[in-house]
Amino acid sequence: MTTSECSNSNNFETLQLTKDHTWEVRANNRRYHTQIKERFFLCFKKRKYAGNEIKTSKYNIITFLPRNLFEQFQRIANFYYLLICILQAIPAISTLPWYTTMIPLTFVLGITAVKDIFDDIARHKSDKEINNRPCDVLVGKSFTTSKWKELQVGDVVCLRKDDFVPADLFLLSSSEPNSLCYVETAEIDGETNLKYRQALSVTHNEVNTMDQLAQFDGRIICEKPNCDLHSFTGTLIWKREEFSLDNGQILLRGCRIRNTEKCYGVVLFAGVDTKIMKNSGRYVLKKTRVERLMNRVVLLVLLILAVLSFCLAVGGAIWNEKFGKKAPYLNIDSKHFSPGYQGFLSFWGYVIILNSILPMSLYVIFELLHVVQSFFINWDLKMYCAERDSPANVRTTTLNEELGQIKYIFSDKTGTLTQNVMTFKKCSIGGRIYGNQFDGVKNAKVVDFSWNAFADEKLKFYDCSLLERIHSGDDPGVHEFFKLLAVCHTVMVEAKDGQLTYQAASPDEEALVTAARNFGYVFLSRTQDTITVSELGVQRTYTVLAILDFSSCRKRMSVILEDSEGKIRLYSKGADAVIYQRLCPNCPHKESTQTALDYFAAETLRTLCLAYKEVEENYFKDWNQRHHKASVVLQNRGRLLDELYEEIERDLVLIGATAIEDKLQDGVPETIQNLKKADIKIWVLTGDKKETAINIGYSCKLLTDRMELFDGHDISKALEKLQKSNYMHKDNNIETISGAISNSEQPDLLSCDNKALIITGSFLNKFTTGLKESKQKRRSYWKLRTAVNPTSREDVDYEEEAHERAFVELACRCKSVICCRVTPKQKAMVVQLVKKYKSATTLAIGDGANDVNMLKTAHIGVGISGQEGMQAVLSSDYSIAQFRYLERLLLVHGRWSYLRICKFLRYFLYKTFAFSFVQVWFSFFCGFSGQSVFEQWCISFYKIAYSWLPVLLLGALDQDISDDLSVKCPKRYKIGQRNELFNYRIFLITLFHGLLSSIVIFFIPYGAFLGIAGKDGKVVSDYQSLSTTVGTAVVLSVNVEVMLEISYWTVPSAFSIIISIALYFCITFLTQSEFLTQMKPDEFQFYGAALNIFKQPYIWLTILLTVAVNFIPSATIRLIWRIFRSKTAGRATYEDLNKGQPTSNNKATLFRRGSTQRRSAYAFSQDKGYADLITSGASIRKKRPASGTKTNTFSESMPEGETNVVQERF
């Protein structure tokens, strides 16, 4: 038992439960947990400790029908048609049989219900499979196989290799030395690299046999169930002692045991209380701009329906009043009704008969098109990365057209623009730079590491003088430099097939340890409190007194070691800004190292500073005692530890700096250039330092030599000028900002036409204060302020909004924006600011866990399956393997999806308007009686058979230009940004077009039928003949219109039109056949009408004339529109293919101004390392080699005289 784990306590039995730590678990005491209940609503109580059964399914046999119908009728269109069905069942107002609406409504509801059933069946199968997984539970003094769903809080379980963890467990012990437990967290965060959990020494030593497990009665007091996967705070109370617990002793549900034969744990959280279930909350549904506009258009259509029905009802009341008495044979049932009541009945009758104006199948086909387009993206071989076997993947199918409207892209840098494969390239030791000898030249001499059996062959270093200096031993700084790299880390090591395999928390650490390994300082093994390295063949073991781990706030990590002579040293590495602040006065090589850092930054290399200090023994003992006390407190443990870390990490001596290369991904510069031509603005949001971010900007052509860098000082001056230019007004908007810029005393200062905005996280805080405050705090604050001054809330709200708006407008006017040193929360805030003040579509792209918040905040989140795990992919809407595929995703699939969806909506609305308005004109000639101009079966099948297939293929397959031309002509992408293809203007044009078509479709046949008889003497001017003729004309007209809409003809497109027309004639002859008329004469009343009229050439001439009058003007207008509007609509010509923007990659002059800012390349959002796991127990499966033994493989490759072993111990 180590002193860092336990502390004697005289009042452990009366440990107070704080507000945040009210969860008490008693091992092997199921009865206690089942009887504890808590109030959840009024006087009702439920069990405090949930069972382990989970349920992700939505329905069961009893609840499926009512719940599914309730969900579907929440959609306006479905509820509207349900109302229509109810109205049609009322004889007094029914103008059409109820089944004319019920049949298509049932079809639509049925398709959705079947889809929901299959989805929920899959959930039920998954739940059943998970809940019935077996696990060994301790019952009495033996383990019994039980199902996961039978587990309870407090149970002791046994897990074996490759088992999934059934609940959140407190690790008691394992079969590995020192109870180390390897876990894979791919089910939680998508990362496949092994992580490590370590049991407490006390439980490792005293709870590992069957009897000890059965007698274990420890109490765990910890935080309540929450969704934080990366932190845990608790205390184990056992044998009158308290032991600090953190995330290092917790096995989360969903993890998988690896490389560990057996382990034991106590269930802390079960079922819905587990952290992974707490994270499976409701997903915020994203809707596209087109879908939101479509919903508003549906409301407008309903308003149009209500207005038309009201007007026709008024007309019916007037007609009945004037002419009803002259025609007593009409309205027999309503002859005693007042005109007002008759108008009321007529209103609902017309609502029924005009119900087709709101297309029922609109939403169904709309969703189906999204699925089809998603398959096209998934199947695109040009977006498939063979190296990673990773295709593009659509994770949210409802956002495809939004990809064609992107205006702002927010991109991470490391792993997104760069490869995130780190290589040690250069370093600075004692002010001297190494690694600068002909780097990248074919004839450059590479350092020969063949003498080192542990060397990694992949590492190439181009400076032999460094190796010569190491072997000479003349420079102790070189020795300390590589010694620090070999010991100051949290890397785990494992021997496989005679080779060492490193697993690190970040690629940076692995690259640095690998570099030390190649130069002869090999990290061999570690235990709980020792670390063993081979220094040029000499094996040394150091005592690890403390590991001060890295965090995004500290931006550094340190280790405190003791050698065999009893000397204590602290080694530290981290961001240059924090290391330089903690250097001792008059530290040597400070200026020369800073110059080297500038040089490394100019080469776009990631840098770290290395330093050390001697620590007095008495001081360390006192510090260690205070450190132990802080490590066991429940409240503010992190803050107290950070204060102690800050205290000891002072007066450091600078050793040098490292430079790691992180290359750009393939095709990044070309992709950014093409996206910029599409008028897409790209913002880079990174945790890296300013200089590195700027140079990456030049490398990827986001920045050019012609751009002026607009930094924080210039931004402050510009914003002050905006305020002095009377920008702060109640009605501030983009126009007032533009006016302030043009009317300013210094318009050049405020002009952003050729400037790039460079801001830091600290500067960004000034503009995100309004977003940081919680709504609850703001609400209570405003109550107090408003009571004193009622206008204060409005003034302060306006002041914050104006400040944010001015910043956003200034940033959006710049050519490029780079935000460096930003945290994950700040990344999301930047995206939120742009969404708040710009009516533009945003896209965020990243590859790490630190990008998840940004991906969820943007309209569209794109995850890259890179080196930082899969957490970004799991939280994204789309996933791709490399940044360069974003070009095709947007310019090809995004633009095509937007084009197809807009064409689909325009044509769908047109065909419904053209069909529905015919009924309006017919009402003027039927006494506003509500009689339908169409056969009732024509109304039903028009929606689901006569016109749905062409519009489906139009929305699925149409394209105006090929995929290659779409990439070569990025200007065509602008039509989506401007929302030109579907807006309120387009809706009104479509409405007007459908109105004119309906006039032609009705009045030409009506005029042709006046007093006309066929050649055979049969009358063709009756109602049934007119109805069939008009129905034929409307079906042919809308199918000819879709032929004009199609830009890309395919065999399915042609067959869809043929099939639709053929279905019309087949169904029409069938519904008007003698067979059906004899079976149901009341429902099939058009016996022989089609057979009669289609024999008459006059009818065919009338139909052809109607179609031609509709077709010729429409085709002419389209031709004129394409000729005169091609350029303004964003269409590129072939001359645009040869135009290019001259760019330059010359960035060497950037740092000649002598920047005084200190450099660092520690990723600001990097995850915490493995320090807590290492210090809490052993960190290697095998015991360390005996002190004083040689490293055999290494020694054999060393010359004689260099294999003397120096034994060092603590």
Q: Assess contact for 889 and 862: CB atoms under 8 A.
A: yes
Using DSSP's 3-state secondary structure scheme, residue 839 falls into coil
Helices of type H across 379-475: 464-472
Catalytic annotation, pick one of 412, 529, 847, 877? 412
- Return the ∠ at Cα 50 (arms to 47 and 56), rounded to 5°: 130
Amino acid at site 754: N
Q: How far apart are CA 523 and CA 687, in angstroms?
A: 29
- Return the ∠ at Cα 1059 (arms to 1053 and 1060), rounded to 5°: 95
Closest CA to 546 of 632, 479, 480, 487: 487
Q: Assess contact for 573 and 550: CB atoms under 8 A.
A: no
Cα atoms in the Cβ-side hemisphere of radius 13 Å centred on 590: 15
Instruction: Give, in order, the Cα–Cα distances in Å from 235 to each of 221, 223, 246, 633, 891.
Output: 5, 10, 8, 9, 55
- Return the ∠ at Cα 800 (arms to 799 and 803), rounded to 5°: 85
Q: Assess contact for 998 and 917: CB atoms under 8 A.
A: yes
Task: Examine the residue annotation and report whether 598 is marked as an active-site residue of this protein.
Answer: no
Q: How far apart are CA 386 and CA 666, in angstroms?
A: 14
Residue with tokens 């809490």: 1176
The torsion of the CA quartet 902, 906, 911, 917, rounded to 10 degrees, works out to 150
Give the pair of three-digit tokens for residue 1055.
Answer: 């067959």
Q: How far apart are CA 1129 and CA 1111, in angstroms?
A: 24
Q: Assess contact for 272 and 221: CB atoms under 8 A.
A: no
Residue 737: count of CB within 10 angstroms of its CB:
21
Q: Assess contact for 876 and 861: CB atoms under 8 A.
A: yes
Residue with tokens 């109304």: 939
- Cα four-point dihedral sign 220, 224, 230, 234: negative
Q: Which residues, other chains included, contact 1135 with Cβ-Cβ below 8 Å and sequence gap of 6+?
A: none
Please give the biggest Cα pair distance in the chain. Answer: 128
Closest CA to 219 of 251, 200, 198, 243: 243
Q: How far apart are CA 922 and CA 755, in angstroms?
A: 63
Q: How far apart are CA 399 and CA 636, in angstroms?
A: 43
Closest CA to 1103 of 998, 1008, 1020, 1012: 1008
Task: Give 869's DSSP letter.
Answer: B
DSSP-derived pairing of the beta strands 530-535 and 860-864:
unpaired
DSSP 30-89: HHHHHH-EEEEETTEEEESS--S--------TTTHHHHHHHHHTTSHHHHHHHHHHHHHT
Q: Assess contact for 484 and 612: CB atoms under 8 A.
A: yes
The H or E element containing residue 530 is strand 530-535
Task: Give 1022's DSSP letter.
Answer: S
Instruction: Give, in order, the Cα–Cα distances in Å from 418 to each of 483, 568, 846.
Output: 29, 39, 11
Crossing angle of helices 507-518 and 476-487, in 10° steps, is 130
Q: How far apart are CA 510 and CA 523, in angstroms?
A: 11
Q: Assess contact for 818 and 387: CB atoms under 8 A.
A: no
Instruction: Give, in order, the Cα–Cα distances in Å from 775 to each of 238, 605, 781, 782.
Output: 43, 42, 10, 10
Q: How far apart are CA 246 and CA 601, in angstroms?
A: 38
Amino acid at site 912: T
Just list the catalytic residues. Answer: 412
